[in-house]
Chain A
Amino acid sequence: MANVITCYKWVIDEKDIRINPDRTVDMSRAQRKISEYDKNAIEAGIRIANRLGARPVGLTFGGPEAKQSLKDALSRGLEAVYWVGHPFAAAADGMVTARVLAAAVQKIGDYNVIVCAEGAGDTYARQVGPRLGALLDLPVITAVCEVEVDGQYLVATRKLEDYVEKVKVSMPAVICVLPEICEAPVPTLKAVLAAGKKPAQELTPQFLGLEEADLAPGISVTGVLGYVMNRKNIILKDGDVAARVKELVAYLKKEGVI
């Protein structure tokens, strides 16, 4: 049975990131999660697989901690999940990630659609999907908000800045979906329990035939600073509502916006 492969990323939950007063960034207590946009992508992959009579599977590349994502991914309705775990992932750029995913996709084999979210919740670089398509020599449609299957073709509606386009490509193909493609349901308890019995397979870089040079990024991070909003932060919380509103209106007048 052919596979519909959805790629996802196990990212740091941005709500746990602490920005210190000196703008240093503390991620030491941050939990991880499947990138929010990838949750929509996983559901989209499952729906496409259902229409094609194919097997929906997941694929992730991350550090050793990405192993913790497998059960969550499977509980979302995927039938199997493949993961490449390597400490190199922490320094990987889009070039390395796409190479690893391309090698894994070829190893999984027999695929007709590869689904990626438009971008990941941490880097939001929006490059891995189209990059993966080019490496695998597959047609790619990005910024997809609707997708239909038409025989051997995918017909996708994509959203550009000023236009909507309907594009048809032959399968196999890569689509990069916007979160509005479909909702991502919260897994049921039954699905969570069933996830433990589904197959999860590790693919090591060695097994994929990747060499050290393939895992060397072209981009290195030289500095990380918390973003600080420089705002007045005048917050009115005392007095009754009428008094707070009156004070606000006075400020808005002074600022010249009313």
Chain B
Amino acid sequence: MGGTFVVYSDKPQLVLELIGFCTGAGRKAVALAFDAAVAEECAAKGADKVLFFNSGINLPEAYCQQVAEAITGEGAEGFIVGSTVRGREMAAKVAALLNWPLASDVSRVVAGGGELEIERLTYGGAVVQQEKVRLPAVVTVPPGKFEPSSKPKAGAEVVALSAEPDGRYTLLERTRIERQGADLANADKIVCAGMGFAKKEDLKLAFDLAAVLGAEVACTRSVAEERKWLPPDVYVGISGATVKPRLYLTLGVSGQVQHIVGARDSGLIVAVDVNENAPIFSAADYGIVGDLYEVVPTLIDALKNA
């Protein structure tokens, strides 16, 4: 099919997945790197060419103008970006500078000649939308969609570029996030607390159940942001964490689509809620209709004796 896609992500593993996508789509993959080690890795694992911005960089977003120029210089018909906070910002700004459309957070993408067919979720995950994107275009792709590329291509080269960052940005501090709550991304089991809890102290029930199950505790956005009972990094949903445990057990969660979209790939979904008509039950494998204040202590006892 020919043609060139430029790829970028601030997550090295994701760059290799994006290179894998380009190769599968019959396109030449030109990777952008702001780190010498990443540049070498891309060249060794399947990029046709690597553009290395050798600039002692601290904010890749401050180089969007140069990135746009490099894409034009390569004569590329696509800019494929890993969907992270940094990647999405870079993608949107470069799309504006190039005057290209941008399809965000695609759950599926197939490259044809002259256009891309994509799928993405809208309305908090209630709707799957199919779209045609005319090339040239920018696309952001979440992790895990494509097999990472691993084999070098003949003649792969690393080209070092020097570039001046946009002087209007200053990075004052960068701090690794010390998780206040659970490490949900790697949790095997999760107990999720919703607005069915009347008081903050009552969350002890969720923690006690989690202890018996060997689970982490998560919550809904309202519990974290309206009530502030748990830190914002443990709420599950479209604007929060996406989780994939073997067991996702909800307590007093009504199951709005914006919440459940964050847990829909869980192995087994189990719900306890007092409202028989709550949407959570249609998203659940198993459910108990009942007052969580009665169900949870009984469940804890039953699990201890199981």
Q: Which residues in A have some Cβ–Cβ distance to B below 8 Å?
A: 12, 14-15, 17, 19, 25, 37, 93-95, 98, 118-119, 121-135, 139-140, 142-143, 145, 155, 158-170, 173, 178-180, 183, 217-227, 229, 231-237, 241-242, 244-246, 248-249, 251-253, 255, 257-258
Instruction: Tell which of A15, A130, A232, A248 touches B93, judged by Cβ atoms closer than 8 Å.
Output: A130
Any chain A CB within 8 A of the CB of B148? no
A169→B169 contact, CB < 8 A: yes
Any chain A CB within 8 A of the CB of B257? yes
A217-B101, A245-B295 in contact; A234/B287 too (CB < 8 A)?
Answer: yes
Tell me the minimal C-beta distance from A145 to chain B in angstroms.
8
* Residues of chain A within 8 A of B247, CB atoms compared: 252, 257-258
A134-B97, A226-B127 in contact; A249/B89 too (CB < 8 A)?
Answer: no
Any chain A CB within 8 A of the CB of B270? yes
Tell me the minimal C-beta distance from A90 to chain B in angstroms.
13
A125-B104, A222-B130 in contact; A163/B177 too (CB < 8 A)?
Answer: yes
Tier of interface size on chain B: 35 or more
Q: Ordered nearest first, which 9 A-B pairs have the shortest CB separation?
A: A218-B101, A223-B130, A134-B96, A237-B289, A130-B92, A125-B104, A127-B92, A134-B93, A166-B173
* Residues of chain B within 8 A of A164, CB atoms compared: 173-175, 177
* 1/0 contact string of B161-176 vs chain A (CB within 8 Å): 0000010111111111
Tell me the minimal C-beta distance from A151 to chain B in angstroms.
13
A159→B93 contact, CB < 8 A: no
A162→B177 contact, CB < 8 A: yes
* Residues of chain A within 8 A of B257, CB atoms compared: 14, 227
* Residues of chain B within 8 A of A229, CB atoms compared: 260, 264, 282-283
Which DSSP category, helix, strand, loop or mixed, fits chain B's interface?
Answer: mixed
* Residues of chain A within 8 A of B213, CB atoms compared: 258
Tell me the minimal C-beta distance from A95 to chain B in angstroms.
5
- Give Cα distance in the complex from A199 to B267, angstroms: 53
Of all chain A residues, which has the CB nearest B188? A257
B276→A237 contact, CB < 8 A: yes
B295→A165 contact, CB < 8 A: no
* Residues of chain B within 8 A of A246, CB atoms compared: 302
A124→B238 contact, CB < 8 A: yes
* Residues of chain B within 8 A of A221, CB atoms compared: 129-131
* Residues of chain A within 8 A of B221, CB atoms compared: 179
Q: Which of B229-243 contact A (CB under 8 A)?
A: 232, 238-239
Tell me the minimal C-beta distance from B129 to chain A in angstroms.
6
Q: Which of B65-116 contact A (CB under 8 A)?
A: 84-86, 88-89, 91-97, 99-105
Any chain A CB within 8 A of the CB of B137? yes
A245→B122 contact, CB < 8 A: no
* Residues of chain A within 8 A of B177, CB atoms compared: 159, 162-164
Tell me the minimal C-beta distance from B277 to chain A in angstroms.
11
B173→A17 contact, CB < 8 A: no
* Residues of chain A within 8 A of B53, CB atoms compared: none
- Give Cα distance in the complex from A187 to B303, angstroms: 47
B123→A236 contact, CB < 8 A: no
Tell me the minimal C-beta distance from A244 to chain B in angstroms.
5
Instruction: Tell which of B88, B96, B246, B295 touches A142, judged by Cβ atoms closer than 8 Å.
Output: B88
Of all chain A residues, which has the CB nearest B279? A15
Most chain A beta-carbon contacts within 10 A, residue among B105, B123, B225, B281 = B123
A234→B285 contact, CB < 8 A: yes
A-B contact pairs, 16 of them (CB 8 A): A25-B127, A93-B102, A98-B96, A121-B123, A130-B89, A134-B97, A165-B173, A166-B172, A180-B232, A222-B130, A224-B128, A231-B282, A244-B295, A248-B299, A252-B247, A252-B286
Tell me the minimal C-beta distance from A40 to chain B in angstroms.
9
Tell me the minimal C-beta distance from A173 to chain B in angstroms.
8
Instruction: Tell which of B93, B129, B264, B290 touches A244, judged by Cβ atoms closer than 8 Å.
Output: B290
5 A-B pairs besides A123-B122, A165-B174, A233-B285 with CB distance below 8 A are A95-B95, A124-B239, A160-B84, A165-B171, A218-B134
Tell me the minimal C-beta distance from B85 to chain A in angstroms.
5
A231→B299 contact, CB < 8 A: no
- Give Cα distance in the complex from A173 to B64, angstroms: 16
Instruction: Tell which of B61, B175, B225, B276 touches A140, judged by Cβ atoms closer than 8 Å.
Output: B61
- Give Cα distance in the complex from A189 to B176, angstroms: 44
* Residues of chain B within 8 A of A258, CB atoms compared: 213, 247, 303, 306
Tell me the minimal C-beta distance from A170 to chain B in angstroms.
5
A231→B269 contact, CB < 8 A: yes
B84→A161 contact, CB < 8 A: yes
